[in-house]
Amino acid sequence: MPAAKGGSRGQIVPIGNLGDRKSDYWKIAPHYSSGFEAFVPIQNGCDKFCTFCAVPYTRGREVSRSSAEILAEVEQLVDAGYRSITLLGQNVNSYGLDRNGGEISFAELLTRIGEFGERSGRRFWVYFTSPHPRDMTEEVLEVIARHDCLAKQIHLPIQSGDDKVLIKMNRNYRVDHYRKVVANIRRLLPNATLFTDIIVGFSGETEEQFEATRAAMREFRYNMAYIATYSPRPGAASSRWDDDVAHEEKKRRYHELSAELQTTSIEHNRKLIGRRVTVLVQGRDRKEGHLTGKTEGLLIVRFPSTDGSLIGRFVEVEITSCAPLSLSGRLLPVGQRQAVGAL
Ligand code: SF4
Protein backbone atom coordinates (compact mmCIF):
# COMPACT_ATOMS: atom_id res chain seq x y z
CA MET A 1 0.00 0.00 0.00
CA PRO A 2 1.08 3.56 -0.42
CA ALA A 3 2.85 4.40 2.82
CA ALA A 4 1.23 7.72 3.47
CA LYS A 5 2.14 7.30 7.10
CA GLY A 6 5.08 9.31 8.30
CA GLY A 7 4.40 8.02 11.74
CA SER A 8 6.11 9.51 14.72
CA ARG A 9 9.59 8.98 13.33
CA GLY A 10 11.30 11.54 11.15
CA GLN A 11 9.27 12.76 8.21
CA ILE A 12 9.23 10.19 5.44
CA VAL A 13 10.30 12.24 2.45
CA PRO A 14 9.71 10.98 -1.08
CA ILE A 15 12.97 9.87 -2.66
CA GLY A 16 12.57 12.52 -5.34
CA ASN A 17 12.85 15.25 -2.71
CA LEU A 18 16.27 14.00 -1.76
CA GLY A 19 17.60 14.59 -5.22
CA ASP A 20 17.66 10.81 -5.74
CA ARG A 21 20.32 10.37 -3.08
CA LYS A 22 18.56 7.22 -1.90
CA SER A 23 21.22 6.34 0.64
CA ASP A 24 20.48 9.62 2.42
CA TYR A 25 16.91 8.58 3.03
CA TRP A 26 17.84 6.43 6.01
CA LYS A 27 20.06 9.12 7.49
CA ILE A 28 17.16 11.37 8.43
CA ALA A 29 17.54 11.75 12.18
CA PRO A 30 14.64 9.99 13.89
CA HIS A 31 12.26 12.20 15.78
CA TYR A 32 9.67 10.46 17.93
CA SER A 33 6.63 12.47 18.90
CA SER A 34 5.37 9.83 21.34
CA GLY A 35 7.23 8.47 24.33
CA PHE A 36 5.82 4.96 23.95
CA GLU A 37 4.87 4.41 20.30
CA ALA A 38 7.29 4.65 17.36
CA PHE A 39 7.42 3.95 13.63
CA VAL A 40 10.61 2.53 12.15
CA PRO A 41 11.05 2.58 8.37
CA ILE A 42 12.57 -0.63 7.06
CA GLN A 43 12.06 -0.22 3.35
CA ASN A 44 11.15 2.43 0.83
CA GLY A 45 9.74 2.31 -2.69
CA CYS A 46 7.88 -0.51 -4.35
CA ASP A 47 8.33 -2.94 -7.24
CA LYS A 48 4.71 -4.09 -7.45
CA PHE A 49 3.23 -1.48 -9.81
CA CYS A 50 -0.42 -1.75 -8.80
CA THR A 51 -2.22 0.21 -11.49
CA PHE A 52 -4.05 2.49 -9.03
CA CYS A 53 -0.87 3.53 -7.22
CA ALA A 54 1.87 6.03 -8.04
CA VAL A 55 4.36 4.94 -5.36
CA PRO A 56 6.73 3.05 -7.70
CA TYR A 57 7.02 6.24 -9.78
CA THR A 58 7.22 8.78 -6.94
CA ARG A 59 9.38 6.83 -4.48
CA GLY A 60 11.20 4.58 -6.88
CA ARG A 61 11.98 0.88 -6.70
CA GLU A 62 12.23 -1.07 -3.46
CA VAL A 63 15.21 -0.25 -1.28
CA SER A 64 15.69 -2.11 2.00
CA ARG A 65 17.31 -0.43 4.96
CA SER A 66 20.20 -2.24 6.59
CA SER A 67 18.97 -4.82 9.10
CA ALA A 68 21.77 -3.82 11.49
CA GLU A 69 20.39 -0.26 11.58
CA ILE A 70 16.81 -1.45 12.00
CA LEU A 71 17.73 -3.79 14.86
CA ALA A 72 19.80 -1.09 16.55
CA GLU A 73 16.90 1.37 16.34
CA VAL A 74 14.38 -1.17 17.67
CA GLU A 75 16.69 -2.11 20.56
CA GLN A 76 17.28 1.53 21.40
CA LEU A 77 13.54 2.23 21.42
CA VAL A 78 12.77 -0.75 23.64
CA ASP A 79 15.58 0.16 26.02
CA ALA A 80 14.11 3.68 26.19
CA GLY A 81 10.74 2.21 27.23
CA TYR A 82 8.82 2.23 23.92
CA ARG A 83 6.00 -0.29 23.97
CA SER A 84 4.60 -0.21 20.45
CA ILE A 85 6.87 -0.24 17.41
CA THR A 86 5.62 -0.42 13.83
CA LEU A 87 7.96 -1.45 11.03
CA LEU A 88 7.03 0.66 8.02
CA GLY A 89 7.36 0.14 4.31
CA GLN A 90 5.26 0.11 1.17
CA ASN A 91 5.74 -3.60 0.83
CA VAL A 92 7.36 -4.77 4.05
CA ASN A 93 7.30 -8.51 3.50
CA SER A 94 9.49 -8.29 0.41
CA TYR A 95 12.12 -6.78 2.71
CA GLY A 96 15.66 -7.73 1.64
CA LEU A 97 14.74 -9.09 -1.79
CA ASP A 98 16.29 -6.06 -3.52
CA ARG A 99 19.71 -6.96 -2.06
CA ASN A 100 20.11 -10.23 -4.02
CA GLY A 101 21.16 -12.27 -0.99
CA GLY A 102 23.10 -9.40 0.60
CA GLU A 103 20.50 -8.85 3.31
CA ILE A 104 18.42 -11.07 5.57
CA SER A 105 14.79 -11.89 4.74
CA PHE A 106 11.75 -10.33 6.39
CA ALA A 107 11.16 -13.57 8.34
CA GLU A 108 14.74 -13.44 9.63
CA LEU A 109 14.40 -9.76 10.54
CA LEU A 110 11.30 -10.58 12.59
CA THR A 111 13.09 -13.54 14.17
CA ARG A 112 15.95 -11.32 15.33
CA ILE A 113 13.52 -8.78 16.76
CA GLY A 114 11.62 -11.61 18.47
CA GLU A 115 14.81 -13.03 19.97
CA PHE A 116 15.82 -9.59 21.17
CA GLY A 117 12.36 -9.27 22.76
CA GLU A 118 12.98 -12.42 24.77
CA ARG A 119 16.47 -11.36 25.82
CA SER A 120 15.28 -7.89 26.84
CA GLY A 121 12.76 -9.18 29.35
CA ARG A 122 10.61 -6.16 28.45
CA ARG A 123 7.06 -6.16 27.25
CA PHE A 124 6.46 -4.48 23.88
CA TRP A 125 4.50 -5.12 20.69
CA VAL A 126 5.95 -4.98 17.19
CA TYR A 127 3.69 -4.44 14.16
CA PHE A 128 4.41 -4.08 10.46
CA THR A 129 2.54 -2.42 7.65
CA SER A 130 1.78 -2.96 4.89
CA PRO A 131 2.48 -6.44 3.65
CA HIS A 132 1.50 -7.71 0.20
CA PRO A 133 -0.59 -10.92 0.11
CA ARG A 134 1.71 -12.41 -2.53
CA ASP A 135 4.69 -12.32 -0.16
CA MET A 136 2.92 -13.34 3.07
CA THR A 137 4.66 -16.67 3.62
CA GLU A 138 3.89 -19.34 6.19
CA GLU A 139 7.42 -18.81 7.49
CA VAL A 140 6.60 -15.19 8.45
CA LEU A 141 3.42 -16.31 10.22
CA GLU A 142 5.29 -19.06 12.08
CA VAL A 143 7.85 -16.54 13.31
CA ILE A 144 5.07 -14.25 14.58
CA ALA A 145 3.50 -17.21 16.37
CA ARG A 146 6.81 -18.06 18.05
CA HIS A 147 7.63 -14.70 19.64
CA ASP A 148 5.51 -12.86 22.20
CA CYS A 149 6.66 -9.39 21.16
CA LEU A 150 5.50 -9.85 17.56
CA ALA A 151 1.93 -8.59 17.68
CA LYS A 152 -0.82 -10.97 16.68
CA GLN A 153 -2.39 -8.52 14.27
CA ILE A 154 -2.22 -8.89 10.51
CA HIS A 155 -3.03 -6.20 8.00
CA LEU A 156 -3.59 -7.95 4.68
CA PRO A 157 -4.87 -5.63 1.94
CA ILE A 158 -7.28 -7.44 -0.38
CA GLN A 159 -8.35 -4.36 -2.43
CA SER A 160 -11.03 -6.32 -4.32
CA GLY A 161 -12.79 -9.68 -4.01
CA ASP A 162 -12.99 -10.14 -7.77
CA ASP A 163 -10.21 -11.79 -9.80
CA LYS A 164 -10.78 -9.68 -12.92
CA VAL A 165 -10.52 -6.48 -10.90
CA LEU A 166 -7.39 -7.81 -9.17
CA ILE A 167 -5.86 -8.48 -12.59
CA LYS A 168 -6.77 -4.99 -13.77
CA MET A 169 -5.25 -3.61 -10.56
CA ASN A 170 -2.10 -5.69 -11.29
CA ARG A 171 -2.20 -7.04 -7.75
CA ASN A 172 -0.53 -10.30 -8.78
CA TYR A 173 -2.69 -12.62 -6.70
CA ARG A 174 -6.15 -14.09 -7.05
CA VAL A 175 -8.84 -14.37 -4.38
CA ASP A 176 -7.99 -18.05 -4.00
CA HIS A 177 -4.39 -17.26 -3.09
CA TYR A 178 -5.61 -14.66 -0.59
CA ARG A 179 -7.97 -17.29 0.86
CA LYS A 180 -5.03 -19.64 1.45
CA VAL A 181 -3.07 -16.91 3.23
CA VAL A 182 -6.06 -16.18 5.49
CA ALA A 183 -6.39 -19.92 6.22
CA ASN A 184 -2.71 -19.96 7.23
CA ILE A 185 -3.26 -16.94 9.49
CA ARG A 186 -6.26 -18.59 11.17
CA ARG A 187 -4.33 -21.85 11.65
CA LEU A 188 -1.01 -20.41 12.85
CA LEU A 189 -2.30 -17.32 14.67
CA PRO A 190 -5.79 -18.25 15.88
CA ASN A 191 -6.07 -15.19 18.13
CA ALA A 192 -4.82 -12.68 15.58
CA THR A 193 -7.03 -9.84 14.43
CA LEU A 194 -7.30 -9.32 10.68
CA PHE A 195 -7.38 -5.90 9.00
CA THR A 196 -7.59 -5.05 5.32
CA ASP A 197 -7.75 -2.29 2.69
CA ILE A 198 -10.45 -2.21 0.03
CA ILE A 199 -11.07 0.08 -2.93
CA VAL A 200 -14.64 0.40 -4.23
CA GLY A 201 -15.58 1.85 -7.60
CA PHE A 202 -12.28 1.08 -9.33
CA SER A 203 -12.32 1.86 -13.05
CA GLY A 204 -14.84 -0.46 -14.72
CA GLU A 205 -15.95 -2.19 -11.48
CA THR A 206 -19.35 -3.77 -12.18
CA GLU A 207 -22.10 -4.43 -9.66
CA GLU A 208 -21.28 -8.13 -9.83
CA GLN A 209 -17.62 -7.43 -9.10
CA PHE A 210 -18.58 -5.23 -6.17
CA GLU A 211 -20.77 -8.07 -4.87
CA ALA A 212 -17.72 -10.36 -5.04
CA THR A 213 -15.92 -7.93 -2.73
CA ARG A 214 -18.86 -7.94 -0.36
CA ALA A 215 -18.77 -11.77 -0.37
CA ALA A 216 -15.04 -11.66 0.39
CA MET A 217 -15.69 -9.38 3.36
CA ARG A 218 -18.24 -11.83 4.71
CA GLU A 219 -15.91 -14.75 4.15
CA PHE A 220 -12.78 -13.23 5.70
CA ARG A 221 -14.56 -11.64 8.65
CA TYR A 222 -12.29 -8.67 9.21
CA ASN A 223 -11.92 -6.89 12.52
CA MET A 224 -11.18 -3.71 10.61
CA ALA A 225 -11.24 -2.61 6.97
CA TYR A 226 -10.02 0.69 5.55
CA ILE A 227 -12.45 1.20 2.68
CA ALA A 228 -11.69 3.83 0.06
CA THR A 229 -13.72 5.09 -2.85
CA TYR A 230 -11.54 5.00 -5.95
CA SER A 231 -10.09 8.22 -7.26
CA PRO A 232 -7.36 8.33 -9.90
CA ARG A 233 -3.88 9.19 -8.60
CA PRO A 234 -1.79 11.41 -10.87
CA GLY A 235 1.00 9.30 -12.34
CA ALA A 236 -0.71 5.96 -11.67
CA ALA A 237 -1.47 3.77 -14.72
CA SER A 238 -5.20 3.80 -13.95
CA SER A 239 -5.29 7.61 -14.17
CA ARG A 240 -5.35 7.14 -17.96
CA TRP A 241 -8.49 4.97 -17.77
CA ASP A 242 -12.11 6.02 -17.47
CA ASP A 243 -13.14 6.77 -13.89
CA ASP A 244 -16.53 5.45 -14.91
CA VAL A 245 -18.26 4.48 -11.66
CA ALA A 246 -20.46 7.40 -10.69
CA HIS A 247 -19.61 9.22 -7.48
CA GLU A 248 -23.01 8.39 -5.93
CA GLU A 249 -22.54 4.73 -6.82
CA LYS A 250 -19.09 4.68 -5.22
CA LYS A 251 -20.60 6.18 -2.08
CA ARG A 252 -23.33 3.53 -2.02
CA ARG A 253 -20.76 0.73 -2.35
CA TYR A 254 -18.65 2.35 0.37
CA HIS A 255 -21.61 2.53 2.77
CA GLU A 256 -22.66 -1.03 2.04
CA LEU A 257 -19.20 -2.38 2.78
CA SER A 258 -18.97 -0.23 5.89
CA ALA A 259 -22.18 -1.85 7.10
CA GLU A 260 -20.69 -5.30 6.41
CA LEU A 261 -17.63 -4.34 8.44
CA GLN A 262 -19.75 -3.17 11.34
CA THR A 263 -21.64 -6.47 11.38
CA THR A 264 -18.48 -8.58 11.42
CA SER A 265 -16.63 -6.35 13.81
CA ILE A 266 -19.38 -6.35 16.43
CA GLU A 267 -19.62 -10.13 16.18
CA HIS A 268 -15.91 -10.36 17.02
CA ASN A 269 -16.22 -7.76 19.77
CA ARG A 270 -19.22 -9.42 21.47
CA LYS A 271 -17.11 -12.51 22.08
CA LEU A 272 -14.81 -10.41 24.25
CA ILE A 273 -17.46 -9.29 26.72
CA GLY A 274 -16.57 -10.63 30.14
CA ARG A 275 -12.96 -11.31 29.15
CA ARG A 276 -9.81 -9.58 30.33
CA VAL A 277 -7.46 -8.01 27.82
CA THR A 278 -4.16 -6.17 28.01
CA VAL A 279 -4.42 -2.60 26.78
CA LEU A 280 -1.68 -0.11 25.92
CA VAL A 281 -3.16 3.19 27.08
CA GLN A 282 -2.95 5.82 24.32
CA GLY A 283 -4.49 8.89 25.94
CA ARG A 284 -7.61 10.57 27.20
CA ASP A 285 -10.82 9.58 25.48
CA ARG A 286 -13.29 12.09 24.02
CA LYS A 287 -15.70 10.82 26.62
CA GLU A 288 -15.15 12.78 29.81
CA GLY A 289 -13.44 10.83 32.58
CA HIS A 290 -12.29 8.02 30.28
CA LEU A 291 -8.97 6.82 28.91
CA THR A 292 -8.55 5.04 25.59
CA GLY A 293 -6.06 2.46 24.42
CA LYS A 294 -5.50 -0.47 22.11
CA THR A 295 -5.18 -4.19 22.57
CA GLU A 296 -2.37 -6.14 20.95
CA GLY A 297 -4.75 -6.74 18.04
CA LEU A 298 -5.26 -2.95 17.74
CA LEU A 299 -8.85 -3.07 18.98
CA ILE A 300 -9.88 0.21 20.59
CA VAL A 301 -10.79 -0.02 24.28
CA ARG A 302 -12.07 2.81 26.47
CA PHE A 303 -12.53 2.64 30.20
CA PRO A 304 -13.36 5.04 33.03
CA SER A 305 -10.25 6.55 34.57
CA THR A 306 -8.77 10.00 34.99
CA ASP A 307 -5.31 8.71 35.87
CA GLY A 308 -3.08 10.33 33.22
CA SER A 309 -0.05 8.46 34.57
CA LEU A 310 -1.42 5.33 32.89
CA ILE A 311 -0.87 6.80 29.40
CA GLY A 312 1.85 4.81 27.66
CA ARG A 313 1.52 1.89 30.07
CA PHE A 314 0.01 -1.56 29.82
CA VAL A 315 -3.10 -2.13 31.91
CA GLU A 316 -5.59 -4.95 32.27
CA VAL A 317 -9.20 -4.26 31.39
CA GLU A 318 -12.29 -6.41 31.73
CA ILE A 319 -14.52 -5.88 28.70
CA THR A 320 -18.07 -5.01 29.70
CA SER A 321 -19.71 -3.82 26.46
CA CYS A 322 -18.96 -3.17 22.81
CA ALA A 323 -19.84 -1.15 19.75
CA PRO A 324 -19.02 -2.18 16.16
CA LEU A 325 -15.50 -0.75 16.16
CA SER A 326 -14.68 -0.34 19.83
CA LEU A 327 -14.87 -1.96 23.24
CA SER A 328 -15.59 -0.60 26.70
CA GLY A 329 -14.48 -2.03 29.97
CA ARG A 330 -13.35 -1.50 33.52
CA LEU A 331 -9.80 -1.15 34.69
CA LEU A 332 -8.63 -4.09 36.76
CA PRO A 333 -6.47 -3.48 39.79
CA VAL A 334 -2.76 -4.21 39.41
CA GLY A 335 -2.30 -7.80 40.44
CA GLN A 336 -5.22 -9.10 38.40
CA ARG A 337 -2.80 -9.53 35.55
CA GLN A 338 -3.99 -12.75 33.99
CA ALA A 339 -5.11 -11.47 30.59
CA VAL A 340 -6.30 -13.78 27.82
CA GLY A 341 -4.04 -14.35 24.82
CA ALA A 342 -3.65 -11.76 22.13
CA LEU A 343 -6.71 -9.98 20.84
S1 SF4 B 1 2.09 -2.76 -3.35
FE2 SF4 B 1 0.85 -1.68 -4.89
S3 SF4 B 1 -0.41 -0.27 -3.64
FE4 SF4 B 1 1.30 -0.90 -2.33
S5 SF4 B 1 2.88 0.68 -2.69
FE6 SF4 B 1 3.28 -0.98 -4.13
S7 SF4 B 1 2.28 -0.36 -6.03
FE8 SF4 B 1 1.42 0.86 -4.36
pLDDT at 31: 73
Q: Is residue 2 part of a domain?
A: no
- Domain boundary among the residues 270, 285, 304 is at 270
Mean pLDDT within 265-269: 97
Cα 299 to middle of ligand 1, angstroms: 25
Q: Is residue 336 part of a domain?
A: no
* CATH code for position 288: 2.40.50
Q: In angstroms, rounded to a whole number, what is the distance separating the alpha carbons of residues 285 and 297?
A: 19
- Domain boundary among the residues 231, 246, 270 is at 270
Q: What is the pTM of this model?
A: 0.91
Domain that holds residue 125: 15-270
Q: What mean pLDDT, rounded, does the chain reach?
A: 91
For residue 49, the ligand 1 atom closest to its alpha carbon is 7
- Domain boundary among the residues 229, 251, 270 is at 270
Put residue 92 in one of left, alpha, beta given phi > 0 → left and psi -120 to 50 → alpha: alpha
The pLDDT tens digits of the residues spanning 159-208 come to 999 999 999 999 999 999 999 999 999 999 999 999 999 999 999 999 99
215: helix, coil or strand? helix
The pLDDT tens digits of the residues spanning 219-236 come to 999 999 999 999 999 999
Q: In angstroms, rounded to a whole number, what is the distance separating the alpha carbons of residues 77 and 87?
A: 12
Q: In angstroms, rounded to a whole number, what is the distance separating the alpha carbons of residues 160 and 165?
A: 7
Choose the weakest-confidence range: 25-29, 48-52, 331-335.
25-29
Distance spanning both ends of the chain, measured CA to CA: 24
Query: In degrees to the nearest 10, what's the CA dihedral of 283, 7, 156, 212?
Result: 90
pLDDT at 166: 98
Cα 72 to middle of ligand 1, angstroms: 27
pLDDT at 104 over 70: yes
The pLDDT tens digits of the residues spanning 172-181 come to 999 999 999 9
Q: In angstroms, rounded to a whole number, what is the distance separating the alpha carbons of residues 158 and 282?
A: 28
Mean pLDDT within 280-290: 96
pLDDT at 2 over 70: no
DSSP string, 18-69: GTT-GGGGGGSPP--SSSSEEEEE-EE--S---TT--HHHHT-S-EEPPHHH
Residues with CB under 6 Å of ligand 1 are 1-2, 46, 48-50, 53, 55-56, 90-91, 132
